[in-house]
Amino acid sequence: MKIGSIYAYYDPVSGRAMYVGSVQDCHSLLYRHRKHLKQNLPVDRWLRSLPKAPVPIELKRVEFASALYLHLWEDSFMAQLKTRKEDGGLNHFSACSPPDHSEIAKAGGLIGGRRTHELHPNQAAEMGRTGGRKNVESGQLASIRNFETCSKGGKVGGGRHEMSLEAKERIRAGGSKGGSKAKGRHGVGAHFRWHIKAGKPCTCGSQDLHVTQRFV
């Protein structure tokens, strides 16, 4: 069993509760507070707008085995203290609804990502390369690989690396030279064996030798 905490931020002027949150480790509340001062959710921006940001107040410690139980307590305190957006508070999302968590990621991630790119374009590019490498190492890219995506990638890559006519002529010329050298090294024996195994007629005029070679 884990012990988490439900906490709240209070407006230092009016004294009313503005935001309710939770942490899954009751000893990490101050760490969560430092993250609030850096991130870009509505409560984070509100804290930074104040002359002196208030510290979070622990409302309740909750012993839980499933995080859902902790989030149910969080939602109940939101309703009790009226910290939801429709009540004038800063809780724009429910703690229990998965669609709300995607909206949280969208609200915080898009704002933070755009701001990072504006302030530190080189760092943002490096983060993108690092994230791509981690996706490959973790198998994330493999999980989205399918026939359609591979086909599109192959067509694009093939188009970018289309062989020129000059390169094709060079390869053809090299193949002809290599074939002549191979014939000289291996002799007619290899020529006969190829026709015998392939079951194809030979047009070189040496059918008698072919028959002899078949029974050697």
Superfamily per CATH, domain 2-95: GIY-YIG endonuclease (3.40.1440.10)
Q: Is the dihedral of CA 106, 110, 116, 121 positive or negative?
A: positive
Q: With 70 as the cut, is the pLDDT of residue 100 above it?
A: no
Give 19's DSSP letter.
E
pLDDT of residue 1: 87
Share of the chain above pLDDT 90, in %: 41
Confidence of residue 214 (pLDDT cuts 50, 70, 90): very low
CA–CA gap between residue 20 and residue 41 (Å, rounded): 13
Q: Which one is predicted more confidently, 22 or 95? A: 22
Average pLDDT over residues 13-35: 95
CATH 3.40.1440.10 positions along the chain are 2-95
Confidence of residue 27 (pLDDT cuts 50, 70, 90): very high
Mind listing the pLDDT tens digit for each residue in 115-166?
Answer: 555 555 665 566 666 666 665 566 655 555 555 666 666 665 555 555 566 6
Q: What is the DSSP string of 168-209?
A: HHHHHHHHHHHHHHHHHHHHHHHHHHHHHHHT----SS-HHH
Q: With 80 as the cut, is the pLDDT of residue 47 above it?
A: yes
Q: With 80 as the cut, is the pLDDT of residue 88 above it?
A: yes
pLDDT of residue 216: 42
Q: Where are the alpha helices (DSSP H) in the chain?
A: 29-36, 42-49, 67-81, 98-119, 121-138, 140-143, 147-160, 165-198, 207-214
CA–CA gap between residue 156 and residue 14 (Å, rounded): 60
Average pLDDT, rounded, for the chain: 74
Average pLDDT over residues 74-101: 86
Are 74 and 21 contacting, i.e. CB atoms less than 8 angstroms apart? yes
pLDDT of residue 96: 83
pLDDT of residue 119: 57
Q: What is the CA radius of gyration of the chain?
A: 35
Average pLDDT over residues 60-87: 94
Are 136 and 145 contacting, i.e. CB atoms less than 8 angstroms apart? no
